[in-house]
Each structure stands twice: as structure tokens, then as C-alpha cells.
Amino acid sequence: MVEVLLADGDVAAARAAADELAGLGAAFDSPFLRATAGSVAGAVLLAEGNPRGACETLRRATDAWRALDVPYELARTRALLGVACAQLGDADGAAIEFDGARRTLTALGAGPALRVADELAGGGSAEAAARGATSGAGPLTAREVEVLALLATGRTNKAIAAELVISEKTVARHVANIFTKLDLSSRSGATAYAYEHGLV
């Protein structure tokens, strides 16, 4: 829920949901819930413009994921930690976290998560961390940017679904969201937008 709210730009609601998750993690004494709460709290802190707080929170979360031996979530959290380090001017720390995240996600074959980590590494901004989007993407989420970039190359929904390993129905939903968010009515308009904003 927190990730969805951040992707939608609703930082206040994401903060409330992250706080609720933290409370659940404490109430049930669940290491997994606490680790999850730490990761999402760090993402919220980045979205709120607090990289120092995010860095501290995300470091604790990475320790928790290591202890639980959950490499996928560890890698995703390390990518966020890389953003926090970059915003604090710690280029070496950022490089270490991004490289670690990339290695793990590559080994796991987690292509979509790897692309998001690469976007975060390229942008390093609170907005990129919160939305997982590129700077030219406007209101689009990272996944919508991926769909738009493929759409702009002339791929069909079926081809986009195969490329991103998602269903055609999900692609159709993303295309509809793209049209709505960008106030477009055709694939050619979406293609023009993608080229004008450097997304392809």
C-alpha cells in the first residue's frame, strides 16, 4: 500500500500507512514486518525530503533483511539506501549500495526491479525514489514509463507483455493510465510524448 501511495504521489497517506505497518511489526514482534516497515519508512522519508533519516532507517532495514536472508527485499532496500547516500553527498556509499543491489537483482533474474534500481541510481532524487520514475516521465510511474517506451517503438500490447513478463490485461491498464495521466487519446500521441521527453 505504501509503495502504491508513493507512486501516486500521496506522501501523507504513505506516511500514515508506513506508521501503521511499523505499529503492526512491533505489536506482533515480527522480524519480517519490522524489516518491511523499515524499508517503506525509508522510502517515505526520502519522499519527504529527509535523506539523513532515510539513511539511518534504511541501514537498519538492510541489516534486518540480511538477518532474515531475503535477498530480493535486501536489494530493493539497498537501492533506496543508495539514493539516500547520493543525496547526502556520499558518492562512494551510493555506488556500493547500487552495485550491491544490481548484483543481487541480476543474480535473481529480477529484471523489472533491476530497471527500477537503475532508474534510482541514475536519478538519486527523492521523487525518483518515491515514484521510481525518470525525470522526464512527469506523472508516470516507473512501470508506466517502461510501457510507454516500448509502446513508442511500435510494439503491440502482446509484445510489451512478453517483454516485461506481465499480462496483456496489465499492459492495457498501464496504457489506459498513461493516456489518462498525459491527457492523450492515441498511441501516436503517446509515442510523440515519449520522444519529446527523452523516454526512448
Residue 194: HSE in the Cβ half-sphere, 13 Å Cα cutoff: 22
40 in Cβ contact with 77 (< 8 Å): no
| 131 or 89, higher pLDDT | 89
Can you list the pairs that 85-89 forms with residues at least 24 positions away whose Cβ atoms lie under 8 Å? 85/55, 86/124, 87/46, 87/51, 87/124, 87/125, 87/126, 88/51, 88/52, 88/55
Whole-model pTM? 0.61
Q: What is the pLDDT of residue 37?
A: 94
The rounded Cα 72 to chain-centroid distance in angstroms is: 13
CATH of domain 136-196: 1.10.10.10
The position carrying cell 504521489 is 9
Q: What stretch(es) of the chain map to CATH 1.10.10.10?
A: 136-196
Q: How confident is the model at residue 81 (pLDDT cuts 50, 70, 90)?
A: very high
178 in Cβ contact with 142 (< 8 Å): no
CA 168 vs CA 4, 109, 160: distances in Å: 21, 21, 8
Q: What stretch(es) of the chain map to CATH 1.25.40.10?
A: 2-132
pLDDT per position as a tens digit, 6-50: 888 889 999 999 999 999 988 988 899 999 999 999 999 999 999
In this model, does residue 92 exceed pLDDT 80?
yes
CATH code 1.25.40.10 for 2-132 = yes
Q: What is the identity of the amino acid at 135?
A: S
Q: How confident is the model at residue 175 (pLDDT cuts 50, 70, 90)?
A: very high
